[in-house]
C-alpha cells in the first residue's frame, strides 16, 4: 500500500528563498533599480506625452500612412475606420498610453533579445543555457512577475514595463537564434572561403538573411507585450489595461467592452504592420515595394 | 616547380575525440570498426599534389569524402591529422587571421548550390571577395564587371540572383571566384546542380577560360564523364580513401582496383582514349630515299600488305602497297610506287578515338599518328581500332 503519509518529504522553502533573494536585490542593488525606474519611467512618460500631444486626427493619418507603406492602401483605410472607432469609444488617450507602453517594452526587449539570440546562435553552450531559462520566463504565469517588480519599483508604469519586457523577451531571442542558424551553410561557407571575418559574415550574410525570422520574432514580442500591457494595468500602469481592470472590479460591462475592443484594434494594427515588414515580398502593393520597384525599373532602363 | 596545392596524409574524422580514430585506422581498423565506436571517418590518409595550371579532379560518389576533402584545402574544415600547403605555405594549424589572408589572396571557391547572397545584386555578389578585402567601390565594381564579361554576363550586374536562371547563377558564382583573381580555384560540385545540357556548356566555358587564365583548379564531381572531360588528372575516391590518381587514360587502361575498374566500365571509351594511346608502332618503316627493292625485301620479311614511308625528319610521306611494290620490282623501276598519297589519313596523337572511325571508314590505309611536331609516333590499322573499343581491361 502506498503510504498516505507525506511527512517523509521535508517541506522545501523555495518560496522563502526566492523572497530572500528578492530582498537581497532590493537592499543591495537599489542603485540599479533606481536607474531602471528613472530610465524606463521617463522614457515612457516622454513617449506617451508625445503621442498624446499630437492631435488624434493627425495621429490617425500618420498610422494609416505607415499601414499603407508597409502593407496596402486597404489596410490604411481599415486603420482610419478602426481608430475613429477608438476615438468614438472615448478610449483614445488610454490607447495611446498603452501604445507607448508596448513600444517602450518592445524596444527594450529587442535591445536585449537580438544580441542574446546572436550569441546563442554562435555558441551551443549559450544556447543550451538560455533555452530552459526562456522556457521558464515564458511559462511562468505573467502575474507572478508583478509581485517582485512591485517590491522593486512600487506601483506605477515601471513594474508593468519590466514584467512586460521579461514576458515578451523569449520569442525575440528564439527567433533570432533560429534565423541565424537557418542561414544556408554553403552561403556562410562562401563568406568564409572569400576570407570574410566572423563579424563581416554576421553583418553581411547571417543577419540580413535572418531578417524574416527576426521580424517574426519582433512581431511575437509586440503581441506578447500587448497582452502583458493589459495585466500591467493591475499594478497601476495607465492605459487600456487599467480600464479593463477597473471594469472588472466594478462589474462594469460597457466600460470593459469598449476598452477591450480598443485593445483588439491596437493588436490587429500592430500585428499586421509588423508581419508585413517581416515579409515585404508578400505585399507587392505596399507603398514601400512600389517605390523600390519603380526605382529598380528606372535603374534597369538607364543601364 | 613548386606544387600549388599539396595534401599529405589528410584525415578527417567526425565524432567525439576524433584523434583516437586516426590511430585506429593506422593500425588497420576499417571504416566500419570506427562507425561502431561512434566515429565517422570522412577522409582517410589522402595525399596528392596539384601542379600550377593543372585541373585536378576529385571524383567520388556521395559519401566518399570528396566535399570534406576540398573543405580542408582552404581550411573551412580543419583536418584531424595531416597537412595542407598552398604554394608552399601551410594552411593547417595556423591562426584564423593568417588563414583569412590566404583565402583572400590565393584561393577562391565555387559552390554546388551557388551560395549567392540573395539580398545583394549580381554585381555586389561578384565583388564580394573584393569588398571583404576592403577594396574601394569604383575599383571593385570595375573588376566585377570585367569578371562578369568573362563569363558572358556583361550588363547583368544590376539584377538580383533570383532573377537569373540556374546556369547563369553559377556563372555569377564563377565570376565571383574569378574577380578575386586568385591563382587557385576550388570548385565543389560546381556544375552538379545544373541540367545536363547547361552543364555541358559550363564545362566547355571552363575549359575555354582555363586556356586563357591558366589557373590551378581543384574540381570535385560525382560525374565520371565530367571528370574525364575536365581533368588533367583524376583522383578516384571511395569510402574516404583515394583509390587511384592518374590521367583519364591511365585510369581507363590501368585501373588500380576492382572498384575503379567497375566504375569506369560504362564510360564511353572512345571519348577518352586518344589516337596516341591506341596507336601501335609500324611493323617496318621505309625511308623516302630507299627504292622498291628494299621495300620488297621488308614486305617479304614482315608480311604486311603495306609499308609506311617516312622522311628524314620522321614526318610521314605516304604508304606503299604490296601489289604496287611487286609490280615496280617486276618493271625494274627505281622510284617508289606511290599509289595515292592522299589515301593516308594523318592525325595528331591527342585526337579522341571517336573522331577516328570516320577516317578509318573512308581510307583503306591505316591512320598515321603524329606528335605535335608532325613526327610519326605510330599507326592505327582498322583492326587495332576495332580491338580498342572492345578492350576494357578484361572487365566486360
pLDDT tier at A5 (50, 70, 90 boundaries)?
Answer: low
Q: Which three cell numbers stand for residue B63?
A: 559519401
Separation in Å, CA A291 to CA A287, A294, B254, B302: 6, 5, 65, 87
> Which residues of A fall within a CB distance of 8 Å from B109?
189-190, 193-194
Residues in A lying within 8 Å of B, measured between beta carbons: 184, 186-187, 189-197, 200, 204-205, 208-209, 299-300, 303
Say what the pLDDT of residue B396 is: 34
**H or E element in which residue B108 lies:** strand B107-110
Q: Is B101 on the interface with A (CB under 8 A)?
A: yes
CB contact under 8 A, A190 and B115: yes
Q: Report the C-alpha gap between A299 and A291 in whole angstroms.
A: 12
Say what the pLDDT of residue B235 is: 95
At a CB cut-off of 8 Å and minimum separation 6, what does A187 contact? A205, A209, B115, B116, B117
Q: Which of B86, B102, B128, B178 to mutate to test binding with chain A, by most A CBs within 10 Å of its CB?
A: B128
Q: What is the dihedral of CA A53, A55, A56, A61, to 10 degrees?
A: -120
Is pLDDT above 80 for B35? Answer: yes
Is pLDDT above 60 for B184? Answer: yes
> Which residues of B fall within a CB distance of 8 Å from A179?
none
- DSSP annotation of B352: B
Mean pLDDT of A182-189: 93
Q: Report the C-alpha gap between B43 and B70 in whole angstroms.
A: 10
Q: Report the C-alpha gap between B178 and B151 in whole angstroms.
A: 9
Q: Report the C-alpha gap between B143 and B146 in whole angstroms.
A: 5
Q: Report the C-alpha gap between B330 and A195 in whole angstroms.
A: 81
Q: Among all residues of chain B, which has the CA nearest to that of A301?
A: B158
Q: How many other C-beta atoms can be found within 10 angstroms of the C-beta atom of residue B11?
A: 22
CB contact under 8 A, A205 and B118: no
Phi, psi for B44 (deg, rounded to 5): -125, 115
CB B238 within 8 A of CB B259: yes
Is pLDDT above 50 for B395? Answer: no
End-to-end CA distance of chain A: 87
CB A46 within 8 A of CB A99: no
Mean pLDDT of A273-294: 82
Mean pLDDT of A183-191: 93
CB contact under 8 A, A205 and B117: yes
Is pLDDT above 60 for B392? Answer: no
Say what the pLDDT of residue B393 is: 43
Work out the percent of chain B whose per-residue pLDDT is above 70. Answer: 97
Is pLDDT above 70 for A229? Answer: yes
pLDDT tens track for A141-180: 888 888 888 888 888 889 989 989 999 999 999 999 999 9
Q: A149: distance to nearest CA of chain B, Å?
A: 43
Mean pLDDT of B3-29: 90
DSSP 3-state assignment of B182? coil
- DSSP annotation of B355: G
CB contact under 8 A, A194 and B71: no
Instruction: Residue A190: name the closest of B325, B173, B372 by CA.
Output: B173
At a CB cut-off of 8 Å and minimum separation 6, what does B201 contact? B167
CB contact under 8 A, A196 and B117: no
Q: Among all residues of chain A, which has the CA nearest to that of B130?
A: A194
CB A78 within 8 A of CB A63: no
Work out the percent of chain A whose per-residue pLDDT is above 90. Answer: 60
At a CB cut-off of 8 Å and minimum separation 6, what does B102 contact? A195, B74, B75, B86, B89, B91
Helix axes B322-331, B292-302, angle to 10 degrees: 130
Residue B215 vs residue A303, higher pLDDT: B215
Q: Is B132 on the interface with A (CB under 8 A)?
A: yes
DSSP 3-state assignment of B37? coil
Q: Which CATH number fits domain A32-279: 3.40.50.300, 1.10.3720.10, 3.10.129.10, 3.20.20.30?
A: 1.10.3720.10
**Weakest mean pLDDT among A120-124, A269-273, A293-297:** A293-297
Is pLDDT above 90 for B311? Answer: no
> Which residues of A fall within a CB distance of 8 Å from B159?
300
> Which residues of A fall within a CB distance of 8 Å from B111?
186, 189-190
DSSP 3-state assignment of B377? strand
**H or E element in which residue B149 lies:** helix B137-150
Say what the pLDDT of residue A147 is: 86
CB A286 within 8 A of CB A276: yes
Is pLDDT above 90 for B38? Answer: no
> Which residues of B fall within a CB distance of 8 Å from A303?
155, 157-158
pLDDT tens track for B344-387: 888 888 888 888 888 888 887 888 898 888 888 888 888 888 88
pLDDT tens track for B94-134: 999 999 999 999 999 999 999 999 989 999 999 999 999 98
The overall average pLDDT reported for chain A is 89
End-to-end CA distance of chain B: 41
pLDDT tens track for A101-118: 999 999 999 999 999 999
pLDDT tens track for B247-260: 988 888 888 998 88
Q: Report the C-alpha gap between B296 and B317 in whole angstroms.
A: 18
Q: Among all residues of chain B, which has the CA nearest to that of A209?
A: B119
Sign of the alpha-carbon dihedral angle for B383, B388, B394, B396: negative
**Weakest mean pLDDT among A212-226, A238-252, B81-95, B372-386:** B372-386
Amino acid at each position: 500500500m502506498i503510504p498516505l503519509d507525506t511527512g517523509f518529504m521535508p517541506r522545501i522553502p523555495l518560496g522563502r528563498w526566492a523572497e530572500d533573494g528578492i530582498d537581497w536585490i532590493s537592499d543591495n542593488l537599489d542603485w540599479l533599480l533606481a536607474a531602471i525606474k528613472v530610465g524606463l519611467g521617463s522614457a515612457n512618460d516622454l513617449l506617451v506625452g508625445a503621442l498624446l500631444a499630437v492631435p488624434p486626427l493627425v495621429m490617425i493619418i500618420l498610422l494609416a500612412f505607415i499601414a499603407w507603406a508597409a502593407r496596402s492602401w486597404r489596410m490604411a483605410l481599415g486603420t482610419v475606420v478602426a481608430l475613429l472607432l477608438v476615438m468614438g469609444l472615448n478610449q483614445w488617450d488610454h490607447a495611446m498610453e498603452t501604445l507607448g507602453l508596448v513600444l517602450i517594452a518592445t524596444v527594450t526587449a529587442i535591445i536585449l533579445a537580438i544580441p542574446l539570440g546572436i550569441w546563442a546562435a554562435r555558441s551551443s553552450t549559450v544556447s543550451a543555457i538560455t533555452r530552459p531559462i526562456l522556457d521558464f520566463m515564458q511559462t511562468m504565469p505573467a502575474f507572478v512577475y508583478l509581485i517582485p517588480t512591485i517590491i522593486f519599483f512600487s506601483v506605477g508604469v515601471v513594474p508593468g514595463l519590466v514584467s512586460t519586457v521579461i514576458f515578451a523577451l523569449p520569442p525575440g531571442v528564439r527567433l533570432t537564434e533560429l534565423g541565424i542558424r537557418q542561414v544556408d551553410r554553403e552561403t556562410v561557407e562562401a563568406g568564409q572561403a572569400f576570407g570574410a571575418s566572423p563579424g563581416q559574415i554576421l553583418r553581411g550574410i547571417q543577419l540580413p538573411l535572418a531578417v524574416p525570422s527576426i521580424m517574426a520574432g519582433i512581431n511575437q514580442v509586440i503581441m506578447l507585450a500587448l497582452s502583458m500591457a493589459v495585466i500591467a494595468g493591475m499594478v497601476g500602469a495607465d492605459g487600456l489595461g487599467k480600464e479593463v481592470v477597473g471594469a472588472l472590479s466594478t462589474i462594469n460591462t460597457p466600460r470593459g467592452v469598449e476598452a477591450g475592443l480598443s485593445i483588439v484594434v491596437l493588436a490587429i494594427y500592430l500585428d499586421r504592420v509588423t508581419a508585413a515588414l517581416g515579409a515585404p515580398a508578400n505585399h507587392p502593393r505596399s507603398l514601400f515595394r512600389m517605390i523600390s520597384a519603380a526605382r529598380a525599373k528606372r535603374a534597369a532602363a538607364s543601364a | 616547380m613548386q606544387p600549388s596545392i599539396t595534401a599529405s596524409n589528410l584525415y578527417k574524422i567526425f565524432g567525439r575525440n576524433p584523434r583516437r580514430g586516426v590511430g585506429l585506422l593506422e593500425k588497420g581498423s576499417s571504416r566500419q570498426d570506427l562507425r561502431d565506436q561512434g566515429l565517422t571517418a570522412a577522409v582517410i590518409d589522402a595525399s596528392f599534389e596539384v601542379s600550377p595550371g593543372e585541373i585536378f579532379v576529385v571524383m567520388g560518389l556521395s559519401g566518399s569524402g570528396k566535399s570534406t576533402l576540398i573543405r580542408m584545402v582552404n581550411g573551412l574544415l580543419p583536418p584531424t591529422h595531416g597537412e595542407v600547403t598552398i604554394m608552399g605555405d601551410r594552411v593547417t594549424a595556423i591562426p584564423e587571421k593568417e588563414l583569412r589572408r590566404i583565402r583572400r589572396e590565393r584561393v577562391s571557391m565555387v559552390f554546388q548550390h551557388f551560395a549567392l547572397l540573395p539580398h545583394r545584386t549580381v554585381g555586389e555578389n561578384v565583388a564580394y571577395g573584393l569588398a571583404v578585402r576592403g577594396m574601394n567601390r569604383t575599383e571593385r565594381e570595375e573588376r566585377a564587371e570585367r569578371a562578369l564579361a568573362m563569363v558572358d554576363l556583361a550588363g547583368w550586374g544590376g539584377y538580383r540572383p533570383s532573377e537569373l536562371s540556374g546556369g547563369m547563377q553559377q556563372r555569377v558564382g564563377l565570376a565571383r571566384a574569378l574577380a578575386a583573381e586568385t591563382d587557385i580555384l576550388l570548385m565543389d560540385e560546381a556544375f552538379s546542380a545544373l541540367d545536363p545540357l547547361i552543364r555541358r556548356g559550363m564545362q566547355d566555358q571552363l575549359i575555354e577560360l582555363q586556356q586563357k587564365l591558366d589557373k590551378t583548379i581543384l574540381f570535385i564531381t560525382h560525374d565520371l564523364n565530367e571528370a574525364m572531360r575536365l581533368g588533367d588528372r583524376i583522383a578516384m575516391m571511395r569510402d574516404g580513401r583515394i583509390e587511384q590518381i592518374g590521367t583519364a587514360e591511365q585510369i581507363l587502361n590501368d585501373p588500380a582496383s576492382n572498384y575503379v575498374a567497375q566504375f569506369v566500365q560504362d564510360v564511353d571509351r572512345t571519348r577518352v582514349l586518344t589516337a596516341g594511346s591506341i596507336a601501335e608502332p609500324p611493323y617496318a618503316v621505309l625511308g623516302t630515299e630507299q627504292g622498291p627493292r628494299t621495300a620488297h625485301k621488308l614486305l617479304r620479311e614482315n608480311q604486311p600488305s603495306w609499308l609506311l614511308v617516312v622522311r628524314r625528319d620522321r614526318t610521314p610521306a605516304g604508304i606503299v602497297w604490296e601489289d604496287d611494290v611487286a609490280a615496280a620490282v617486276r618493271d625494274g623501276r627505281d622510284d617508289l610506287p606511290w599509289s595515292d598519297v592522299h589515301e593516308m589519313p594523318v592525325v595528331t596523337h591527342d585526337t579522341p578515338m571517336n573522331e577516328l572511325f570516320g577516317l578509318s571508314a573512308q581510307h583503306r590505309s591505316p591512320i598515321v599518328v603524329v606528335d605535335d611536331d608532325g613526327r610519326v609516333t605510330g599507326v592505327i590499322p582498322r583492326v587495332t581500332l576495332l580491338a580498342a573499343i572492345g578492350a576494357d581491361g578484361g572487365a566486360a
